[in-house]
């Protein structure tokens, strides 16, 4: 007994292959009685269409590719986005593949590979830069995609982003309200678009509130945790530490908290820490710190929704989501997995 195909089903029902195929697609040209007959025969016989054949014939893959760095992360970033994405896609017959890329090599490689081999119907990636060659390439080839993060050509493509400018503004307002005067902001790697958003907001809001906001070129959110830790220790020891650290990343925040404690100071009394929170990890960290939430689960869902609409042909101009920071953490609806 080999796998049932359209042919099997055609023989079983006494219809032509073409009729069976169209009946299964609920084509209104096929009589309703026939459609039902075919459907029940298919169920009984256990027919499932062959994806490879459909793909060869139609050129559609029913696959969404999520391209991301293969780095091991201490705290799940991709995980939450994938969860939101796959939840959003449930019910459609798209499924996600995660394509890790080699950071040593050209970040274009996996994308070119996907486009040229038609490995997917649409593409999602993050870590966008103002002038992003991946975006250029995809626009040129007309391949559907959504970025997580904006670019200089954000008017022309679909994206979903977190309002990192507002995040910084909100955080600085809180710190100013607590009477802090000097704040050090850890910025993302300078080539990323949102480094700019954060810097602009920091300058603007700092001026408005009379806060001295500093940052470093040499140490960023992409730096190793121990570099961040050691930097903070040095600053405290040399007496030039700020009143507060603003950490838009969980791992850097943990490093800063550890460093402050290691110097014998208190996070609540001496130096404040405000973090961007993307998981519930800070519920388990003592001392508790102030956080502003970014909902990556929602971002994943949003990316999926936008991409489906883009694939369906909607113009990219309308497919743009800016997510606002949330004051309180909205936990996952399910149990944590260890």
Binding segment for DNA among 6-14, 78-86, 136-144, 206-214 (CB under 7 A)? 6-14
Q: Which of residues 157-196 bind a copy of itself (CB under 8 A)?
A: none
Report the residue from 11, 12, 22, 26 that binds DNA according to the rule CB under 7 A. 22
Least separation in angstroms between residue 93's CB and a copy of itself is 10
What does the alpha-carbon distance between residue 100 and residue 111 come to, in Å, rounded to a whole number?
A: 11
Q: Are the beta carbons of 160 and 148 closer than 8 angstroms?
A: yes
Let me know: does 38 contact 26? Beta carbons within 8 Å: no
Contact call for residue 222 and a copy of itself (CB under 8 A): yes
Residues 2, 177, 210, 334: which binds DNA (CB under 7 A)? 2
71 binds a copy of itself (CB under 8 A): yes
Tell me the two tokens of residue 96.
């996600």
For the chain, how big is the Rg over CA atoms in Å?
25
Q: Which of 1, 11, 12, 17 binds DNA (CB under 7 A)?
A: 17
Q: Please choose which of a copy of itself, DNA, none residue 17 contacts, taking the beta carbon within 5 to 8 angstroms, the exact cut-off set by kind.
A: DNA
Tell me if 251 contacts a copy of itself by CB under 8 A: yes
Q: Is the bond into 58 cis (omega within 30 degrees of 0)?
A: no
Smallest gap from Cβ 226 to a copy of itself, in A, equals 7
Lateral strand order in the sheet of 63-68: 95-100, 63-68, 122-126, 145-148, 158-162, 320-323
186, two tokens:
């850890």
End-to-end alpha-carbon separation of the chain, Å? 43
Would you count residue 50 as binding DNA (CB under 7 A)?
Answer: yes
* Phi and psi torsions of 30, nearest 5°: -95, 135
Please report whether residue 98 would count as binding a copy of itself according to CB under 8 A.
yes
Question: What is the C-alpha to C-alpha distance for residues 190 and 193, in angstroms, rounded to an integer?
Answer: 8
Task: Choose the contact partner of 15 out of DNA, a copy of itself, none; CB within 5 to 8 A by kind.
Answer: DNA
Q: Applying CB under 7 A, which residues contact DNA? A: 2-3, 5-7, 14-19, 21-25, 29-34, 47, 49-50, 53-54, 56-58
């Amino acid at each position: 007994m080999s796998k049932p195909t359209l042919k099997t089903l055609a023989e079983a029902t006494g219809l032509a292959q073409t009729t069976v195929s169209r009946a299964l697609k609920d084509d209104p040209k096929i009589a309703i009685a026939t459609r039902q007959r075919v459907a029940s025969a298919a169920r009984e016989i256990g027919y499932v269409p062959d994806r490879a054949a459909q793909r060869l014939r139609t050129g559609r893959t029913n696959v969404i590719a999520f391209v991301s760095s293969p780095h091991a992360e201490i705290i799940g970033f991709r995980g939450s986005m994938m969860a939101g994405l796959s939840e959003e896609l449930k019910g459609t017959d798209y499924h996600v593949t995660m394509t890790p890329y080699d950071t040593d090599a050209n970040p274009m490689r996996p994308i070119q590979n996907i486009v040229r081999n038609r490995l997917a119907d649409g593409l999602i990636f993050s870590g966008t830069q103002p002038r992003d060659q991946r975006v250029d390439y995809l626009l040129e080839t007309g391949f559907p995609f959504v970025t997580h993060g904006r670019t200089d050509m954000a008017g022309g493509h679909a994206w979903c982003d977190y309002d990192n400018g507002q995040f910084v503004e909100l955080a600085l307002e809180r710190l100013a309200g607590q009477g802090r005067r000097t704040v050090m902001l850890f910025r993302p790697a300078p080539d990323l678009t949102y480094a700019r958003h954060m810097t602009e907001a920091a300058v603007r809001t700092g001026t408005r509130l009379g806060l001295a906001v500093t940052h470093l070129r040499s140490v960023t959110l992409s730096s190793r945790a121990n570099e961040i830790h050691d930097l903070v220790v040095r600053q405290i020891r040399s007496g030039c530490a700020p009143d507060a650290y603003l950490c838009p990343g969980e791992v850097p925040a943990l490093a800063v908290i550890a460093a402050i404690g290691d110097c014998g100071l208190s996070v609540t009394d001496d130096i404040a820490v405000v973090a961007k929170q993307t998981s519930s990890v800070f519920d388990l960290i003592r001392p508790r710190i102030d956080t502003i939430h970014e909902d990556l689960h929602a971002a994943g869902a949003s990316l999926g929704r936008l991409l489906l609409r883009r694939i369906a042909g909607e113009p990219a101009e309308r497919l743009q989501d800016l997510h606002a920071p949330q004051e309180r953490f909205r936990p996952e609806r399910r149990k944590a997995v260890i």
